Amino acid sequence: MTGRTFRKVTTLVLIGATIAVAAVVGARAYAQAPGGMHGSIMKRMISAALDEALDQAAVTAQQRTAIYASRDRAFAAVEANRPDRMAQRDQVLALFEGDQLDAGQLQAVHAQMEQRHQAISAAVTQAVIEIHDTLTPSQRQTVANYARTFAPRGMH
């Protein structure tokens, strides 16, 4: 393959990737608008499932308070790291519209997205660890059994 052919193929692949990223970001923006109804519905669903699991595990008021604090920190991290998907889309499209598409700039946008995902993942991991440490072994078993059988309505 000649250098010129390689550059053409690379350019086509990057254009396709940029269009795909823009489409995914746009679709996710629609589904997960910041501060929108979707986020509050998910919080309510997670909280309701957690409450049901904790009820089955017969946790104490003190345990419930500690677990809610862990849950709330995880929710806050999700909210703080929720990207402005429209701004991301516009950023990717601005790069795409330029005379030359700089792979480094596109990778920087992807790195930002990955940093946000990692921050959320770390917060959720920490919450799971804290909840684990708050529960007794038998309570953890009860919660695990609940999680094995729980699925939102229509997802069975």
Secondary structure (DSSP) of the chain: --HHHHHHHHHHHHHHHHHHHHHHHHHHHHHT-TTSHHHHHHHHHHHHHHHHHHHHTT--HHHHHHHHHHHHHHHHHHHHT---HHHHHHHHHHHHHSSS--HHHHHHHHHHHHHHHHHHHHHHHHHHHHHHHHS-HHHHHHHHHHHHH---TT--
Question: Chain-wide mean pLDDT for the chain?
Answer: 77
Question: Distance between CA atoms of 156 and 150, rounded to whole angstroms?
Answer: 9
Higher pLDDT, 111 or 85: 111
Evaluate if pTM is beyond 0.75: no
Specify if 144 maps to a domain. yes
What is the domain range of residue 139? Answer: 3-149
* Range scoring the smallest mean pLDDT among 41-45, 115-119, 141-145: 41-45
Q: Is the pLDDT confidence value at 38 over 60?
A: no
State the average pLDDT over residues 58-66. Answer: 95
In this predicted model, what pLDDT tens digit does every residue of 130-150 receive, in sequence order?
999 999 999 999 998 888 887
Specify if 101 maps to a domain. yes
Q: What's residue 58's pLDDT?
A: 95
Residue 33: pLDDT band by 50, 70, 90 thresholds?
A: very low
Specify if 104 maps to a domain. yes
Q: What's residue 6's pLDDT?
A: 55
Specify if 155 maps to a domain. no
Q: What's residue 88's pLDDT?
A: 83
Specify if 14 maps to a domain. yes
Q: What angle do CA 136, 140, 143 make, to 5 degrees?
A: 135
Q: Which residues contact 80 (CB under 8 A, 6 or more apart)?
A: 119
Q: Is the pLDDT confidence value at 10 over 80?
A: no
Q: Which residues contact 105 (CB under 8 A, 6 or more apart)?
A: 95
Count of domains forming the chain: 1
pLDDT exceeding 90 applies to what percent of the chain? 29
